[in-house]
Amino acid sequence: MKVTDDIAQVRGVGVSFYVLRDRNELYLIDGGFIGGVGCLRGELRRIGWSGFRIRGILLTHGHLDHTLNVLSLQRASGAWVAAARADATHIQGSYPYRGLSRVCGALETVGRALLRYKPCAPQRWLADCDQLPILEGMRVIGLAGHTAGHVGFYLPARKLLFCGDIFKSSRFLSHLPPRFLNTSQRELYLSVSRILAMDLEGILPNHASIAPPAVHLARFRKLATRKGIPRT
């Protein structure tokens, strides 16, 4: 599904990911979950982008539903992979979960075994405020909390943020990720505050119903107000 003329959303099992077209090259934001490769190929055919090369894969974070297909996509396309260094152990499946988040660690362990997960090896490590030459300039935004190195990707020229799993956007009840899926609830709230302070006209979450970016942003702001989370 096209979001704009050069941004497409690939909807899969429980999670979406995004394709950005910059001239004759494609960049992925995350790699989807079960069946994601087939969904990607079908969507690229449908919108007429099948002939373009996937140049790079940007990871918002290292949870299995975002990284499952990355190695196979990388091998098929020759694309480079970029992620935050703080999420390296999430990608490898060796992050030392503590407290309630051990539930998330157990789910990840079972999922990796059942799905025969093979981790990718990022060639580029991202840091907060890094600039990427994609779609008139893209900025990395550190949004830790869901994972140690969770990041978003901001397009200043469009005031649009790919916000990963910072929240789920739902028509009836948008919500933050459950506590057991987060490495730090405090950092998650700080990341929400950081987004609230940004100059935005739209956001694109990975877990969301079909809606324009401006609608997702309105839901996010309403959720933050309900939670009493202030701007930084």
Note whether residue 101 is domain-resident: yes
pTM over 0.75: yes
Sequence-ordered list of residues with C-beta below 8 angstroms from that of 172, at least 6 positions apart, any chain: none
Query: Burial, 99: exposed, middle or buried (Cβ in 10 Å; 0-12, 13-18, 19+)?
Result: exposed
Strand 25-29 and strand 53-58: pairing?
Answer: parallel
Note whether residue 124 is domain-resident: yes
pLDDT digits (tens, 9 = 90+) for 46-59: 999 999 999 999 99
Count up the domains in the chain and report the number.
Answer: 1
pLDDT digits (tens, 9 = 90+) for 71-89: 999 999 999 999 999 999 9
Tell me, what's the pLDDT at 230? 86
Tell me, what's the pLDDT at 82? 98
* Sites in the chain below the pLDDT cut of 70: none
Tell me, what's the pLDDT at 8? 97
Residue 10 domain boundaries: 2-227
Note whether residue 232 is domain-resident: no
- CATH code for the domain in which residue 118 is found: 3.60.15.10
Tell me, what's the pLDDT at 31? 97
Tell me, what's the pLDDT at 198? 97
